[in-house]
Structure 1
Amino acid sequence: MPFTLSQPAHGEIEIRKSRFICCVEPVADRSAALARIAELKAAHPAAAHVCWALHAGGQSAANDDGEPSGTAGRPMLEVLRHQQLEGVMASVVRYYGGIKLGAGGLLRAYTDSVAQALLQAERLPLRRQQCFCCSVPYALEGKLRRVLQGAGAQLQAVEHGAEVALRFAIDEDDSAALLATLNESCHGQLRWLDTD
């Protein structure tokens, strides 16, 4: 089962006088990750490197930021994958201490930094949501809202026209039971609409 993080978590290690400051945090996509990296670079102008990895489905990425290729971003990404984290970015700010660590030393330093920060992180199960849209006569709006609320569905939009159109989302695992309940409780007066 995939997980995400409830909030950012931090860790710091020192290896042969180099400081590795890690942050793991929930990030939705690549553009949000790039904005966060820009903030980190501005906050740490004296840092030698700000390496990062994002695991967010089709927008996953890894960046070594000047470290030897494959010694920072890719190993950090592998830690996120191994921990089954989705929609999470790991960033490591490195202050160089004057002693070279070599490729193997860098790889261990970056993976250990991420692992250290993840020890502080609170993981949340990531549940897939399904969106639905339906319409009912005005007389059934209250009943429909109560059924949705009782099932834990998230009401996203309501439009009042000739009928009331409601858009909602629910955990994929609970969707079949909710749809059956809605169809039954509305006595054939509920119409399913296409979702885009």
Structure 2
Amino acid sequence: MYQLVSLATAEIEIKKSRFLGQLYPVTTRAEARSLLLNIRTAHPNAVHVCWALICDGDSGLDDDGEPSGTAARPIYNVLVHKQLHNILAVVIRYWGGTKLGAGGLTRAYGQAISDAFKTAELQQVESYCERIFHLQFADESSLRRLCEQHQISIVSADYADTVELRLKLKQQQVQVFEQLASDLLRGSLQIRDPDIC
């Protein structure tokens, strides 16, 4: 998974229509809406402002009056192909006087965003998740040492009849770490994904 570091842009012209491709790093849909409002204000003579958003837990598409599926979908497809998240991709179109047809529009919108990626700086993002470990008091220090050895963060600790440690792990290390912890504590450990009830 990748994310955009900063704004990236490109401009193409097809049959006198100008397509301005813009990529913005965003973290929320509200932030994307605010950017879109500013973009529309900055380009009052544009005939279309089409966009696709992929954000944590949220996404959206808008053809902004272009024939359905000819603008936002090709933009979105480029984002998915590039394995991006937390990104708003916008293409601003200035009418050139010649109709491009559905195929021409699809290619133009996809190309405008693809060209913007040629100047984009991307960084790889590690995926994290949390797990809840239930264990006996006598085993807590052993599990804490194992966490230190594998650079795993302890988010919280709750004490009742047993110890409940909430750990934050890289997605790629979950399976191996769970097995190591289970082996270390001789199976006297319960592990739960907090997102699954």
Report SS of the residue matched to 2:88. Answer: strand
- Aligned in 2, Cα 1:105/1:192: closer, same or farther, shift over 3 Å? closer
Structure 2 residues not aligned, in runs of 5+: none
Question: Does the 8 Å contact 1:10/1:21 carry over to 2?
Answer: no
| Residue in structure 2 matched with residue 54 of structure 1 by the alignment | 53
Aligned-pair CA distance for 1:76: 1.3
Q: TM-score, normalised by structure 2?
A: 0.71
| Residue in structure 1 matched with residue 181 of structure 2 by the alignment | 182
Report SS of the residue matched to 1:74. Answer: helix
- Aligned in 2, Cα 1:7/1:136: closer, same or farther, shift over 3 Å? same
Query: In the alignment, which of 97, 100, 104 is matched to residue 98 of structure 2?
Result: 100
Aligned-pair CA distance for 1:191: 4.3
Structure 1 residues not aligned, in runs of 5+: none
Aligned-pair CA distance for 1:182: 1.8
Q: Percent same amino acid at aligned positions?
A: 33
- Aligned in 2, Cα 1:36/1:185: closer, same or farther, shift over 3 Å? farther
| Residue in structure 1 matched with residue 170 of structure 2 by the alignment | 171
1:63-83 per-residue CA deviation (whole Å, 9 max, x = no partner) reads: 111223333112212222333
Question: Does the 8 Å contact 2:71/2:105 carry over to 1?
Answer: yes
Question: Does the 8 Å contact 1:9/1:118 carry over to 2?
Answer: no
Distance 2:192 2:83 in 1: 35
Instruction: Out of 29-38 and 114-123, give the one that drifted further.
Output: 29-38
Aligned-pair CA distance for 1:87: 4.9
Aligned-pair CA distance for 1:17: 5.3
Distance 1:154 1:122 in 2: 29
Query: In the alignment, which of 154, 158, 183 is matched to residue 156 of structure 2?
Result: 158
Aligned-pair CA distance for 1:134: 1.5
Alignment of 1:12-31 (within 5 A): 12-15=10-13, 18-27=17-26
Instruction: Out of 11-20 and 23-32, give the one that drifted further.
Output: 23-32
